[in-house]
Structure 1
Amino acid sequence: MGKRGAKPKGKVKIKWSPGLAYAIGLLVTDGSLSSDGRHISLVSKDTEQLENFMKALKIRVSIGTTRSGYTGKMTTRIQFGDITFYHFLLGIGLTPNKTKTISAIKIPNRYFFDFLRGHFDGDGCTYSYFDPRWKSSFMFYTTFVSASKRHIVWLQKEIFNRLKIQGHITND
């Protein structure tokens, strides 16, 4: 006999798209999976980023506040329950308490750059300067941050495979 009860209805339509890949990039950097097996959260000081996340997933939930576990300050977040989406995220490589343990994420090649854009919007930045060693040499850098070395090494490899940009990893 099968399991009793109604089949869970997912809030998120799980079909690969640029929006889904972008949202997963944000979840990898600023999101979390609750240990209860159903809740997904995204925290950001930027409410526009939370709105973009909801738009990418085609969901509407209220934006609330929570206390940051790192700074102790209040910050905005969205949280919703979706068992089906939660299990999908587990299947592609996200886990609860992922900060230092996350590794490769299973993203279809077609949507990798959409994922990377979400990853960049979550924990990326750019900086530039004129290098005084060479006349008229403008240096421009793009950085990605992760507490997991395995994840950042995977990301570096994926970027190299697609763009032939080597980059380097620092421990700051």
Structure 2
Amino acid sequence: MPKPKLPDKDFKWTPELAYAIGLLTTDGNLSKNGRNITMRSSDTQLLKTFKKCLDLTTKITQSRNDGWAKKPCYRIQFSNVQFYRWLLKIGLFPAKTYTIGKIKIPDKYFQDFLRGHLDGDGSVWTYKDYYNTYKNPKYIYTRLYTRFISASKIHIEWIKENIRRLLPINGRLYQRNPRRPDQTTSMWEVKFAKKESIKLLSWLYYHSDVPCLKRKRKIAEKFI
């Protein structure tokens, strides 16, 4: 006899779960078989944090690169039918890259979700700007930028609007044309300059032990 179908299950939101959903939104994949979930990254520390957030025992294994990646890629793959169905309910689905839209995240946990999104496909960077030193040697400025990236315009506009609504700060939306031969569609990004980035990063790293990618937090800590 076939096994009885498992009932749907609503998972309780926590900061750790919301962070993991942010990672799955950017770097995760739902297979078409209705049960397998894969998370990929070139950073094993990120995958270990993901494992801890979801209390997984699955091993981290090396994965194939797409041919353009310069670093080795690693992955976690696990099977959970109830969790898979719940991910579908909140807005994730197979082959989501170009068509993903809003994710059903409670406002209370949006900053944790967003930190996962940042650690997956976003970036935080800083540099010294010497452009105006020809006018005066003292005109040296420390720049700071934060950005979130998606191949789906609808999704990145939702990210931008939620940040504006909850903080509120306003980022600039950009369209990036394909840069590699294997890319056929544009990427979308919302970008925040220094003043807005400081407020945003202070909000994301609201406690010393929140799950995060350590190397990005290290950059942020210089300003918050």
What TM-score, normalized by structure 2, do the two folds share? 0.68
Q: State which drifts further: 127-136 or 79-88.
A: 127-136
Q: 1:171 deviation in Å?
A: 1.2
| Match of residue 160, structure 1, among 145, 158, 164 | 164
- What is the CA–CA distance in structure 2 between the aligned matches of 1:116 and 1:98, rounded to whole Å? 18
Point out where structure 2 has 5 or more consecutive residues left out of the alignment: 134-138, 177-224
Q: Secondary structure at the match of 2:99?
A: coil
| Match of residue 52, structure 1, among 37, 49, 53 | 49
- What is the CA–CA distance in structure 1 between the aligned matches of 2:47 and 2:7, rounded to whole Å? 22
Q: Which structure ranks higher in relative contact order (CA pairs < 8 Å, sequence separation ≥ 6)?
A: 1
Partner of 1:150: 154
Structure 1 residues 57 and 133: alpha-carbon distance in aligned structure 2, compared to 1, 3 A threshold: same
Q: 1:136 deviation in Å?
A: 5.9
Partner of 1:76: 74
Q: Secondary structure at the match of 1:170?
A: strand
- What is the CA–CA distance in structure 2 between the aligned matches of 1:17 and 1:144, rounded to whole Å? 22
Number of residue pairs matched? 169
- What is the CA–CA distance in structure 1 between the aligned matches of 2:61 and 2:142, rounded to whole Å? 42
Q: 1:75 deviation in Å?
A: 1.9
Q: 1:113 deviation in Å?
A: 0.5
Q: Secondary structure at the match of 2:123?
A: strand
Tell me, yes or no, if the aligned pair for 1:9 and 1:82 is still in contact at 8 Å. no
Amino acid in the other structure paired with 1:15: K
Partner of 1:119: 117
- What is the CA–CA distance in structure 1 between the aligned matches of 2:36 and 2:7, rounded to whole Å? 14
Partner of 1:61: 58
Q: State which drifts further: 13-22 or 123-132.
A: 123-132
Amino acid in the other structure paired with 1:157: E
Deviations 1:27-52 (A, max 9, x none): 00100100111110000111111110
Q: 1:163 deviation in Å?
A: 1.1
Larger Rg: 2
Q: 1:68 deviation in Å?
A: 3.1
Partner of 1:31: 28
Point out where structure 1 has 5 or more consecutive residues left out of the alignment: none
What TM-score, normalized by structure 1, do the two folds share? 0.87
Deviations 1:114-141 (A, max 9, x none): 1011111101111234554695654321
Structure 1 residues 169 and 83: alpha-carbon distance in aligned structure 2, compared to 1, 3 A threshold: same
Question: In percent, how many aligned pairs have the same letter?
Answer: 46
Q: State which drifts further: 60-69 or 84-93.
A: 60-69
Q: 1:8 deviation in Å?
A: 4.0
